Structure 1
Amino acid sequence: MHIQLIKPNEQYKNKILDYKAEFVANNEVLHGSAGLDKIDNFEEWYRLILQNSSEDTVKKGLVPASTFIAVDENDEIVGMIDIRHRLNDFLFKQGGHIGYSVRKSQRRKGYATKMLSMALDVCKSLGIEKCLITCDKSNIASARTIMKSGGILENEIIDGEEIISRYWISL
């Protein structure tokens, strides 16, 4: 399995919108997409991720982040991953440094583990020494991926009706 993390760009516009549509069709939450699920217009989303990629231009209340699409050897998007360069109070409690998703049609193929490994390398290059990654307690696949990548469960917190598991990975 070969994948690469690529910064979203206009060339992938239709594939990114198809990726989003697969999550909508399956009534799933689109994690690690820098808000793609909340924006209908690719251009607006793309401007937002560019704006939020720098400390100087990040939108008030957010933290700088690097958003990537995970592309396979056939140039198809298998996943998305968002790396937050630092944590604010919200991210410390329940969002973490990294959010990610893999499209339903590509799950159980090792993509999440590979994406997370690559994202941890990016975190290390950003000077992050301990990386927080969270997932819903009910998301067993994500918890396994995080633990396989070295995640140590610190605790679980209640957020409304959800229980969020908080894992740390030392880099």
Structure 2
Amino acid sequence: MDQFKLVEPSLEYRYEYLDMINEWSNTGEKMIPFILRFDCSNFDSFLEEIHKLKTNKDRGENKVNSSTFLLVNNEGRVLGATNIRHELNEQLLKMGGHIGYGIRPSERKKGYASQLLGLALEKARSLEIRSVLVTCDKDNVGSARTILRNNGRLDSEDIVDGVAIQRYWINNNLES
């Protein structure tokens, strides 16, 4: 049985990461989480940018710190990615939430998204995020199921920039 872990992007996973990005790009789909859309042609610069997102105190207006992790199986294959925002601003309360996640196209419908979100919730717990907001497009039934499997409770639906967005809250108590 496969074992999974979350790891921070590093040179060790460079080629696996680039393979995932290439696979995703070939589908023409929007890559989620947003971090997957960053230019990674210079991988060292890409890693520096991710580090700045996590640690930089002078983020600029409407930006928050976030941590990025890759879902890796026991063979070192990168299956997906997650980005955890340390706090929310007004925009992220509407669309985006604390956790964004995605599974590479060839690895979908295997239960990995639920595992990825579960592991991301553990990381959020270590950041002392007790109440986690996760959003998805209303027509993304798979993502909604993933959130529900991780104890998400639908809070509201709204139209944001012409897209129906669902907002789910997950109780992420530290005592768990």
CA, structure 1 residues 43+81, in 2 after alignment: closer, same or farther (shift >3 Å)? Answer: same
Please name the residue that 2:144 is paired with: 143
Question: Partners in 2 of 1:106 and 1:156 — Cα distance?
Answer: 28
Question: Partners in 1 of 2:133 and 2:140 — Cα distance?
Answer: 16
Question: Partners in 2 of 1:30 and 1:13 — Cα distance?
Answer: 17
Cα offset, 1:57, TM superposition? 5.1
SS of aligned partner of 2:95: helix
Please name the residue that 2:100 is paired with: 99
Please name the residue that 2:135 is paired with: 134
| TM-score, scaled relative to structure 2 | 0.91
SS of aligned partner of 1:53: helix
SS of aligned partner of 1:48: helix
Summarize deviations over 1:42-69 as a string: whole Å, max 9, x none: 2332111100112525455321111001
Summarize deviations over 1:21-49 as a string: whole Å, max 9, x none: 11110111111252x31424223321111
CA contact (8 A) 1:51 1:57 kept: no
Are 2:66 and 1:39 aligned?
Answer: no
CA, structure 1 residues 8+60, in 2 after alignment: closer, same or farther (shift >3 Å)? Answer: farther
SS of aligned partner of 2:135: strand
CA contact (8 A) 2:94 2:160 kept: no
Please name the residue that 2:64 is paired with: 63
User: How many residues were matched structurally?
Assistant: 170
SS of aligned partner of 1:95: coil
CA contact (8 A) 1:33 1:67 kept: no
Could you tell me the percent identity over the aligned residues? 36
CA, structure 1 residues 84+101, in 2 after alignment: closer, same or farther (shift >3 Å)? Answer: same
RMSD between aligned alpha carbons? 1.5
CA contact (8 A) 1:52 1:59 kept: no
What are the within-5 Å matches in structure 2 for residues 1-171 of structure 1? 1-34=2-35, 36-41=36-41, 42-56=43-57, 58=59, 60-171=61-172
CA, structure 1 residues 19+59, in 2 after alignment: closer, same or farther (shift >3 Å)? Answer: farther
Unaligned runs of 5+ in 1: none
Question: Partners in 1 of 2:58 and 2:72 — Cα distance?
Answer: 27
Summarize deviations over 1:132-153 as a string: whole Å, max 9, x none: 0000111100000001100001
Summarize deviations over 1:51-101 as a string: whole Å, max 9, x none: 011252545532111100110111100000001111011111100000000
Cα offset, 1:160, TM superposition? 2.4
